[in-house]
Amino acid sequence: MFEKIAALIFNYFEFMAKIYYNNQQHLVIQMNVNEATELNFGIPITGLQNLCICGTCNNECKPEEIYYVAGINEVLCCDCIIDFCKNMNHYTDDNSLDYEQAHFNKIAEKLNMKERAIRTTDGKLIIINKDNIPVKD
């Protein structure tokens, strides 16, 4: 009974996905389990809180601490995102950056986030407000 009440309360809790900034400059979005489920990273469970499994350790993610990593197109739990950002190289070749940018922008769009990733003239990925992206004529 307690789980059902907790699930109902959580479903009414409004959480907006946000950028998870890190020293390695990986494009990461923190989201909750409902947002992850809408993106097909989570598992809907009727009558209970949805479930999301970490793509690295295969443990259940905390409902409010799910991290989408655009460079690998996967969701990680709190412990694994810390390890990932500390130990994983951020590949900066054109193909890797194009892949990361495309996946980040697709997920940000689906989550109605205002941020988007763009490439600078020197080839680096940065995050800006989508309203500030120059429109090509």
8-12, 29-33, 50-54, 128-132: lowest mean pLDDT where?
Answer: 8-12
> Is residue 95 included in any domain, yes or no?
yes
pLDDT over 80 at 21, yes or no = yes
Which domain range does residue 10 map to? 2-132
> Is residue 137 included in any domain, yes or no?
no
- The reported pLDDT for the residue numbered 135 is 65
* Torsion 10-15-20-21 (CA) sign: negative
For 39-69, write each residue's pLDDT tens digit: 999 888 887 789 999 999 999 999 999 999 9
Q: Summarize the confidence of residues 88-94 as an average pLDDT.
A: 90
Distance CA 20, CA 29 (A): 5
Rounded to 5°, the CA angle 79-48-30 comes to: 35
Q: Report the domain count for the chain.
A: 1
Q: Are 77 and 85 in contact (CB under 8 A)?
A: no
> Is residue 73 included in any domain, yes or no?
yes
- The reported pLDDT for the residue numbered 47 is 78
- The reported pLDDT for the residue numbered 137 is 59
- The reported pLDDT for the residue numbered 12 is 44
Q: Are 56 and 76 in contact (CB under 8 A)?
A: yes
> Is residue 36 included in any domain, yes or no?
yes
Distance CA 109, CA 103 (A): 10
